[in-house]
Amino acid sequence: MKRRLRPVAVALTLFLAACQRPENINPPADLLPREKLVNLLTEMHLLEARVENARLTPDSARALYLTQQKNLLWQASVSDSIFQRSYRYYSIHGKDLDEIYSAVIDTLGQREFRMGQKK
């Protein structure tokens, strides 16, 4: 019985040793700065709201959103892969993503306030 458990124990030990804690993961070389990610996420949430309000069929809405998202990233000189890697890195570090989304919410709140003043 002990002979059968030994390979499992060794494999489990090697697996756990290979795992890195989120704090130890090196950031990608092309990591977006937080400010730029906040701006992109803010614009993406506004884009999503505009597409939802367009009352399109789900397929058309998704196609429109993806096209506009690609344009947004292109205008910001950010590739989709850089955006995805940066978002994934910050999401692994939960505190970082919380701070980023707090800034996104604050930015959206400020825009909403300014729009209310213009009316």
Residue at 23 is within a domain: no
Residue at 56 is within a domain: yes
The whole-angstrom separation of Cα 76 and Cα 40 is: 8
Residue at 13 is within a domain: no
Residue 4's pLDDT band (boundaries 50, 70, 90)?
Answer: low
Residue at 6 is within a domain: no
DSSP letters of 89-112?
HHHHSHHHHHHHHHHHHHHHHHHH
Domain, as residue range, for 94 = 30-118
Ranking 5-9, 87-91, 100-104, 113-117 by mean pLDDT, the lowest is 5-9
pLDDT 10s digits, 63-75: 999 999 999 999 9
Query: Mean pLDDT throughout 35-58?
Result: 94
Quote the pLDDT of residue 117.
80
CA separation, residue 90 to residues 13, 32, 68 (Å): 28, 10, 23
Residue 22 in this model has a pLDDT that exceeds 80: no
Residue 5 in this model has a pLDDT that exceeds 90: no
The whole-angstrom separation of Cα 20 and Cα 15 is: 10
Query: Mean pLDDT throughout 20-48?
Result: 85
- Say how many C-beta atoms besides its own lie within 10 A of residue 89's C-beta: 19
